[in-house]
Amino acid sequence: MKSRVPALLLALLLAPLMVTSGHAERIVTDQLGRTVTLPDTVSRAVVLQHQTLNLVVQMNATGKLAGILDQWKQQLGANYVRLAPELAKLPMPGGLTKLNIEALLQLKPDAVFVTNYAPAEMIGQIEKAGIPVIAISLLSAPPGEATKVSPVVADEQAAYESGFAEGVRLVGTVLDRKDEAEGLVAYAQAKRKLLAERLASVAPGQRVSAYMANPDLNTYGSGKYTGIMMNRAGAANVAAALQGFKQVTMEDVLKWNPAVIFVQERYPEVVEEIRRAPAWQPIEAVKAGRIYLMPEYAKAWGYPMPEAMVLGELWMAKKLYPDRFADIDMQAEADAYYRRFYRTGYDSFH
């Protein structure tokens, strides 16, 4: 008996280690509410969503990438590659809503990140191949809305606030970058307090009317982070009654007559078109010369990015209410953020 007891104790002590090393699995819940079983370590991830890819770069986890979405340059902007040159060498087995399963399988990924509106057939195809799929939306939405491109939620600000933190932490958990994820969330939450305090005394009727101009008269209404961004910056989005990303008419814009026009960094040609086209000249923003090409960090996308919350909302508020933010040096703010999360200084293109 004396000889067997130590042996049993040793076996019991080793059992958890054997199970951990042999089984090596963990379970997470993605932003569609799906339970996903993952390997204990994800060393090869394929990212088929540009928002997640942007987070991976900021978390300094590009060494774990096995493949990325095919439209990453278009979605992240022409200058983005300087922040992560390694992306240019990675295979591209699919996109936001499409997939080449053979190309994906060749990469032998441990996990695949997709957008919340990726087709169910696409997710199923990957899962049938035995590869875990994690859907990211950066928005907290009820089950019936979670898979939509433009979800409808009762409280958009609260849905994006909680969903952003949840999504960032999920990416950090999957890729073993929890500390980096917490850093991004904390930075965004802290900086937003300054914005709220400075704009607290702006009454709803005093808000500056603004329009987000995209190619072909497309704009953002509600159901997208862009609308939240404008709202938090103190703007009155003239297209707020629309749902999602919609095409409007020139008659609509003339009727709205915005005092300010914003254009995303990736569409500089839109600024020139507005400045020169006769149809735009009667609009207040054009007459006053208040057409602003947004800096790279503003990221007025459908989903929130940390730098958009930290820097983009502040930049927009400073354009709308320069007197209230006269002491804010956006170049210094951007440089501090980029040095921490992109590991390089911010080079202004505008």
pLDDT, mean of residues 219-230: 90
pLDDT band at 91 (very low <50, low <70, confident <90, very high): very high
pLDDT, mean of residues 234-250: 95
Which of 129-133, 202-206, 308-312 has the highest mean predicted lDDT (pLDDT)? 129-133
Q: Return the pLDDT at 244.
A: 87
Q: Go through 280-316 and write b for each residue having 16 or more CB atoms within 10 A of its CB, e for each that does not.
A: beebebbeeebbbbbbbbbbbbbbbbbbbbbbbbbbb
pTM comes to 0.85
For the cut 60, the answer to whether the pLDDT of residue 253 exceeds it is: yes
Take residue 182 and report the two structure tokens written for it.
Answer: 């917490």
Cα–Cα distance, 56 to 44 (Å, whole number): 12
Around Cβ 156, how many Cβ atoms within 10 Å? 18
pLDDT, mean of residues 173-198: 94
For the cut 50, the answer to whether the pLDDT of residue 257 exceeds it is: yes
Ranges of each domain in the chain: 22-176, 203-341
Note the pLDDT tens digit of each residue in 314-331.
Answer: 999 999 999 999 999 999
At 95, which amino acid appears?
Answer: G
More confident residue, 328 or 222: 328
Q: Any idea what DSSP says for residue 312?
A: I
For the cut 60, the answer to whether the pLDDT of residue 105 exceeds it is: yes
Report the Cα–Cα distance between both ends of the chain, in Å, rounded. 80
Summary mean pLDDT of the chain: 91
For the cut 90, the answer to whether the pLDDT of residue 21 exceeds it is: no
Cα–Cα distance, 338 to 329 (Å, whole number): 14
Note the pLDDT tens digit of each residue in 286-304.
Answer: 999 999 999 989 988 888 8
State the SS3 of the chain. Answer: CCCHHHHHHHHHHHHHHHHHHHHCEEEEECCCCCEEEEECCCCCEEECCHHHHHHHHHCCCHHHEEEEECCHHHHHCCCHHHHCHHHHHCCCCECCCCECHHHHHHCCCCEEEEECCCCHHHHHHHHHCCCCEEEECCCCCCHHHHCCCCCCCCCHHHHHHHHHHHHHHHHHHHCCCHHHHHHHHHHHHHHHHHHHHHHCCCCHHHCEEEEEECHHHEEECECCHHHHHHHHCCEEECCCCCECEEECCHHHHHHHCCCEEEECCCCHHHHHHHHHCHHHCCCHHHHCCCEEECCHHHCCCCCCCHHHHHHHHHHHHHHHCHHHHCCCCHHHHHHHHHHHHCCCCCCCCC
Around Cβ 321, how many Cβ atoms within 10 Å? 19
What residues are paired with 220 via a beta bridge? 245
Lowest mean pLDDT among 6-15, 107-116, 179-188: 6-15
Lowest mean pLDDT among 86-95, 143-152, 240-249, 266-275: 143-152
Lowest mean pLDDT among 23-32, 66-75, 315-324: 23-32
For the cut 90, the answer to whether the pLDDT of residue 152 exceeds it is: no
CATH topology of domain 22-176: Rossmann fold (3.40.50)
CB-based burial label for 252 (10 Å; 0-12, 13-18, 19+): middle
Q: Return the pLDDT at 154.
A: 87
Q: Return the pLDDT at 135.
A: 98
Q: Return the pLDDT at 14.
A: 44
Lowest mean pLDDT among 79-83, 288-292, 301-305, 344-348: 344-348
Take residue 171 and report the two structure tokens written for it.
Answer: 């990416």
Take residue 266 and report the two structure tokens written for it.
Answer: 């990736």
Whether the domain at 22-176 and the domain at 203-341 fall into the same CATH topology? yes
For the cut 70, the answer to whether the pLDDT of residue 19 exceeds it is: no
pLDDT band at 307 (very low <50, low <70, confident <90, very high): very high
Q: Give residue for tokens 């919340």.
A: 116
Q: What CATH number was assigned to the domain covering residues 203-341?
A: 3.40.50.1980
pLDDT band at 334 (very low <50, low <70, confident <90, very high): very high
Q: Return the pLDDT at 265.
A: 87
For the cut 50, the answer to whether the pLDDT of residue 160 exceeds it is: yes
Cα–Cα distance, 113 to 3 (Å, whole number): 52
